[in-house]
Structure 1
Amino acid sequence: MTRVHDMGGRFGDGAVTPEGEDVVFHADWHRRALALTLATGTLGKWNIDVSRHARECLAPTDYMRFSYYEKWIAGVADMLVARGVVSREELSGEAAPTPSPLAEKALKAPQVAGVLARGGPADRPSDVTPLFAPGDAVVTRKQPENSIVPGGHTRLPAYAAGASGRVLRLHGTHVLPDSNAHDLGEAPEPLYAVAFPASELWAHPEHPRDEVVLDLWQSYLEAP
């Protein structure tokens, strides 16, 4: 399935132009967009996979015209309304904001450094046995769709569907985004770093011997 955000190897989107390492934010509101995204994420109303899926669910026309942080803000706005944190009228300014029971969970300035330092680890204990080891040949499943929720979130890129690669390392067991993005539980399973030759992913790669390394969950992979 072709997804609007699944842009790897797609023609017509222009070249990727790396920026200097000293460029962090292009505008002051970009800092605020990042801060707002992190702050609302600590309210406990959604997880990182839900937030990624919210950005993917933007209307295709909006997704393509929005800048990076506009996508973030649009996704946050949609989640705030969908999860009942604020009303659409409050968000648009048509109604006065009402006191929220989540106010006591609001992230205070002195807490920010500690919260960022802790991060959000996604590794979990699991009784799912790893099927592959470093050096093993693997093939990604031919259909890149979410196999749990039709049209749902997945971290298997469409351009890597049905591709042959080799396992570089096992990361341990991690939360499965395909389930977690839809509030169906974390469903942790083995996560692998898998290397693919560029020639395996694209018909006319500029550098065929280059490799692309993807982190892929076990349910995305099969033995050749």
Structure 2
Amino acid sequence: MTRVHDMGGRFGDGPVDPGQPDDPVYAQDWHARALAVTLATGALGQWNLDMSRHARESLAPRDYVDFSYYEKWISAVADLLVSTGVLTEADLRGEGDDSRHPLADRALKAEAVAATLARGGPADRPMTAPPAYRPGDRVRAQRPAANRLVDGGHTRLPAYAAGATGRILCCHGAHVLPDSNAHRLGEAPEPLYTVVFSAAELWAHPENPEDEITLDLWQSYLEPA
């Protein structure tokens, strides 16, 4: 059974509403603040991007379904702040110690935001061995779509692709493996591929069977077809 967050390709949820070009960037003012808090706390260096994603996926199923997009973000940040010991639950309630925090010097200043965003957090790493697959090779996504290192852990292999057969389009070199990095088990970089799947391979009743879907998948997610 997959976690509730793995909604890709699920039937019956209705069409995706992309909004209109002139819609505001943030529907409510607090959405911008939620994004700012997420970036600022991430700059403290107490967790990585994969841990952040895993925190959102680990919200209680009822909360994950009921929360809006930025409610998920800010709730995950609160969980991370407490689980990593940066803050306590009392701190979040405004009842904590007002003394200077040990991480205060790492606070992200407003004037540093643009450079920090421009720098990003590259996940590519040097290749230490030749990739197992080449463009054109047929591969099958592992089934089930699950973290092989941590039971119930984070993975970027979507459930709808599990067991599906596709072909390698290209290799992007070695990238940090989310399944390991999300659980502080090391970066464990491995080759990352763009894999092409036909719509008919993924969906029982595709609207356009000849359409193709591309997914970026790590080498350990794949096996020869």
User: What count of residue pairs does the alignment treat as equivalent?
Assistant: 224
Gaps of at least 5 residues in structure 2 are none
What secondary structure is seen at the aligned counterpart in 1 of 2:124?
A: coil
Query: What corresponds to 1:148 in structure 2?
Result: 149
Query: What corresponds to 1:62 in structure 2?
Result: 63
- Asked if structure 1 preserves the Cα contact closer than 8 Å seen for 2:169 and 2:193, the reply is yes
How high is the TM-score relative to the length of structure 1? 0.96
Give the CA RMSD over aligned residues: 1.2
What secondary structure is seen at the aligned counterpart in 2 of 1:213?
A: strand
2: CA distance, partners of 1:162 / 1:15: 25
What secondary structure is seen at the aligned counterpart in 1 of 2:204?
A: coil
How high is the TM-score relative to the length of structure 2? 0.96
Counterparts in 2 of 1:89-168, with a 5 A limit?
89-168=90-169
Gaps of at least 5 residues in structure 1 are none
Letter in 1 for 2:140: V
Letter in 2 for 1:149: V
Percent identical among aligned pairs is: 66
Query: What corresponds to 2:3 in structure 1?
Result: 3
Letter in 1 for 2:183: H
How far does residue 12 in structure 1 lie from its aligned partner after superposition?
3.1
Is 1:212 the counterpart of 2:199? The answer is no
What secondary structure is seen at the aligned counterpart in 2 of 1:74?
A: helix
Worse-matched range after superposition: 57-66 or 207-216: 207-216
How far does residue 133 in structure 1 lie from its aligned partner after superposition?
1.2
How far does residue 96 in structure 1 lie from its aligned partner after superposition?
4.6
- Asked if structure 1 preserves the Cα contact closer than 8 Å seen for 2:127 and 2:173, the reply is no
How far does residue 17 in structure 1 lie from its aligned partner after superposition?
1.4
Counterparts in 2 of 1:186-205, with a 5 A limit?
186-205=187-206
What secondary structure is seen at the aligned counterpart in 2 of 1:5?
A: coil
Letter in 2 for 1:115: T
How far does residue 197 in structure 1 lie from its aligned partner after superposition?
0.8
1: CA distance, partners of 2:219 / 2:150: 17
Letter in 1 for 2:199: A
Task: Flag as ranges the 4+ runs of structure 1 deviating above 4 A.
Answer: none
What secondary structure is seen at the aligned counterpart in 2 of 1:116?
A: helix
